[in-house]
Amino acid sequence: MSASVSSPLLKRIPPGLWTALAWFAAAVEPIVEYVVMPPRPTHSLNFPRDGLDSLDARALLALAFVLVLAGSAALRRSTTPAYALVIAGTVASTVAWRQDEIPPLQFLAVDVALCYIAAIRSRRSSLTAASGALGVLTCYFMMRLLMGHDSGIAPEPFLALTVVIAWLIGNSVHQARAHTEELYARAAAQAVTAERLRIAREMHDTVAHSIGIIALQAGAAARVVETQPARAREAMLTVEKAGRETLSGLRRMLGALRQADQNQEGTGQDHGRAPASLHPALGLADVERLAATATAAGVRVEVRRQGKHRPLPADIDLAAFRIVQESVTNAVRHSGADSCLVRLEYRADELAVEVSDRGKGGGTGTDTGTGTGTGTGTDTGYGLIGMRERTALLRGDFTAGPRPGGGFLVAVRLPIPTMTEAEEKARAI
């Protein structure tokens, strides 16, 4: 379990630490071998034993250590200035030793920093950084040729090859990361589109149910309009109420769906979820039946209702039920809890829905807001996306995340539209 959550040790080490370790190892080794240790028969032209005898050389080498340490520490925050400090420290080290070329091992730190820049920055920035390293190598090569110090095979072409390889590795990581983000964004967009299609299908069921009620009540009113005017008036008031609620729900639904990105191409697949119900519209009246089904599956679901229970608009009633259904389903499948609590609070101007459990799963991220946040679950996270999308379409507030004492909590607040003056007059008749 922990292996899937925590990243490998090599990935958890900051890139600045890798750079500092590579440079310091290459810089300290010749000091120990050719200065600290007793003299040996071997002799090094790059690191003479008296190379650090002067105070200026030691001060310059100390400055090189400081520059590289500062650059490594700031590599993640300010990549370009930090990279320049690493190169400057490398050059200062060669000047302190009175070298006319950069030792390959010491230049490895520059390659590590360049690889990190190519992995996180744009291609233009990484190419600029690579050009800087190649420019320094070119300067060393030209300076040695002009001074006539060519004593063998020049290391600059090989170091230039390491620069190219470091840039290619970092650029490959950058492209792979960008491709992964694109795939995830596309999958999330398809999930949102599929969820909106499912909501539209459920709204179709709601409208069909309301039209059926209107037809029945209108027919009953027509039959008794002359003999029983009171019953006819009551039936027509029911027709008016159903029509207004349906129109209000359609207006809110279509207004939100028009704001969707028309350029997104959905596949219509619902990522393994069941298709919309073809039965009459569900609502919070069916929560107890849902709780009984979940209890039979092994997770005891307790339903608590608070406030004055009253009829809700069809789209709000359906959305609240679907949110409870999705949350309870996640608790049954992923949380590992043996119980789940569903709270429904009818307030003056809104409906508050909370579904909580004390299991070990159910979500690994936090999602807050009115549809602008991000959230992840133990699976693909599309359950939270669907609930957030429903809440956003109704201009509500959605919060989901782990509870401080353990478990997972889904909290939703859905505003209830106020009754219009025409509805108040109709109810008063």
More confident call, 43 vs 426: 43
Q: Is residue 135 scored above 90 in pLDDT?
A: yes
d(CA 246, CA 295): 33
Say what the pLDDT of residue 269 is: 41
In residues, how long is the chain? 429
Say what the pLDDT of residue 46 is: 64
Say what the pLDDT of residue 264 is: 44
Average pLDDT over the chain reads 78
Residue whose structure tokens are 């090094």: 44
pLDDT band with cut points at 50, 70 and 90 for residue 211: confident
pLDDT band with cut points at 50, 70 and 90 for residue 419: low
User: Are the CB atoms for 34 and 49 separated by under 8 Å?
Assistant: yes
Provide the β-strand partners of residue 402: 408
Say what the pLDDT of residue 377 is: 38
Q: Is residue 333 scored above 80 in pLDDT?
A: no
What backbone torsions phi and psi does residue 348 show, to the nearest 5 degrees? -65, -45
pLDDT band with cut points at 50, 70 and 90 for residue 225: confident
Question: Mean pLDDT over residues 18-40, rounded?
Answer: 80
Q: Is residue 265 scored above 60 in pLDDT?
A: no
Q: Is residue 190 scored above 90 in pLDDT?
A: no
Say what the pLDDT of residue 259 is: 59
pLDDT band with cut points at 50, 70 and 90 for residue 234: confident
User: Are the CB atoms for 248 and 420 separated by under 8 Å?
Assistant: no
Question: Mean pLDDT over residues 355-370, rounded?
Answer: 60
Number of neighbouring beta carbons within 10 Å of residue 298: 8
Q: What is the pTM of this model?
A: 0.51
Say what the pLDDT of residue 184 is: 87
DSSP 239: H
pLDDT band with cut points at 50, 70 and 90 for residue 175: very high
Helices 229-257, 156-224: crossing angle, 10 deg rounding = 170
Six token digits for residue 20: 């500092």
Question: Mean pLDDT over residues 225-252, rounded?
Answer: 80
Six token digits for residue 57: 């050389």
